[in-house]
Chains A and B, each alone.
Chain A
């Protein structure tokens, strides 16, 4: 299954990062991380706070410079040109927002890229359709700063989806998000995977996305500590507050030991 596909040269990997090193403020945050993702097989990036998950995805999309290693997107070295095939969902709305901006304006900015400094003619229809896909079409003309956390997150996902990306990279899209938004997001990601899209998603816990994900890369202090089946929720994350009531028909049984992934490695 996954492993075989991953090494087959016939289908280029959607993302292939090897030995990624990143320095921030004089400290090395990532010490040579590998991660791969194939179409139709979502990969979760997991690990505790400060493990380097966000740094890794920011480096993958080119928002941070690499100090070592390589990133290839669909077999090509990552460049502004390969960016056309990638949709990125950052953790939060950006630093801007001194001036109001509507959800439609934010999503339309997702249609820009290396060769297109202005949006295409059908930008408005596409942006509205992307908002509709996440069930926030009625918020198109609202100022994004007045939306709830979950609604803002859906707008950010629509901004990535409007690019119709073959590789979708999301940074903790579920953090602080209400249940309807989590469901809208899980549905959108499932559609994307079923259409053969590649997905890399930073998660603190699998939560509502558990049915979608059979592959995880676990980071600890900037190093990969586990590759394979996602580790099951532990400690506080297994408490009822973090529970959800979806049927888990297609999820493997939780590993016997809390450190099962360490053992299997």
Chain B
């Protein structure tokens, strides 16, 4: 058990627990509103922010070129999320195409800028697919800060956020501040993506937000339980994924997402088996 006393392992597990618990919170709201892919798009935009942070870092001659990557990602991700939310709220017809331009523009310019700023392919891969094995105490504190925001806002405002994602028209009629609450969902998505980027990378971040929710919703009938189960599943997936990479040389972000997909397939087939058996029993009862 000397592994657990290794500071790097401690940092990795701490970050994995926080990210695993917080990513499904916003994921639940996004799935409920049928915007499961939003996180994917904002992740793409966040990469442009990382790159902008890198470029700013190299212009400012910072010793640690990475120092401005997270602030850059937060700024870009929040801006992207706010723009998307405004287009959604106004029902802009071309929103679909504009989002595609933003997403691919974000990822392509991110890749270009990072290489222009002197980043290596390893740096790039770290942002695209996660680099939890290089996590510093500084990263841990940033993740703690972002996670606290997500937990306090995402869980504290759950009744209101449920109301606006469940039935916006009714939410308006009650006097809830609908636009502000929608903006909260958008900004929380951006914060979640920035927090999870370290573990799973911008390309897989949406998987960590959505997969635990997709698994959890097959196991319960209520919104709040779906969210709680998803948080537990998220933590377990991240810890098991990180744990396995301590013994086998595998890419942690990809492993966590693959584990999630496997669990999804197992639970989905279990659920469909149960449904079929129940139907057969009902048929037998009729006959």
| Residues on A facing B (Cβ under 8 Å) | 25, 58, 61-63, 79-84, 86-88, 90, 93-102, 105-106, 108-110, 112-114, 117-119, 141-143, 146, 159, 163, 169
Query: Please, which residues of chain A bring their CB within 8 A of the CB of B226?
Result: 99-100
Chain A's closest residue to B172 (CB) is A63
Inter-subunit contact B222/A118 (CB<8 Å): no
Residue of A93, A94, A97 ringed by the most chain B CB atoms within 10 A: A94
Chain B's closest residue to A61 (CB) is B173
Tell me the bound Cα distance from A109 to B157 in angstroms. Answer: 12
Query: Please, which residues of chain A bring their CB within 8 A of the CB of B163?
Result: 109, 112
Known: A109-B162, A118-B159. Contact between A95 and B174, CB under 8 A?
Answer: no
Q: Is B120 an interface residue (CB 8 A)?
A: no
Inter-subunit contact A88/B168 (CB<8 Å): no
Inter-subunit contact A83/B175 (CB<8 Å): yes
Interface residues of B in 158-174 (CB under 8 A from A): 159-160, 162-163, 165-174
Query: Please, which residues of chain A bring their CB within 8 A of the CB of B167?
Result: 90, 93-96, 109
Known: A62-B173, A80-B175. Contact between A105 and B224, CB under 8 A?
Answer: yes
Q: Which 10 A-B pairs have the closest CB atoms?
A: A94-B167, A83-B175, A88-B173, A114-B175, A61-B173, A80-B175, A96-B166, A109-B163, A143-B221, A63-B172
Inter-subunit contact A113/B157 (CB<8 Å): no
Query: Please, which residues of chain A bring their CB within 8 A of the CB of B221?
Result: 100, 102, 141-143, 146
Inter-subunit contact A62/B176 (CB<8 Å): no
Inter-subunit contact B173/A83 (CB<8 Å): yes
Inter-subunit contact A101/B174 (CB<8 Å): no
Minimum C-beta distance from B184 to chain A (A): 10
Tell me the bound Cα distance from A30 to B28 in angstroms. Answer: 37
User: In the complex, which of the residues A62, A94, A109 contacts B159, with contact meaning CB atoms closer than 8 Å?
Assistant: A109
User: In the complex, which of the residues B32, B156, B174 contacts A97, with contact meaning CB atoms closer than 8 Å?
Assistant: B32
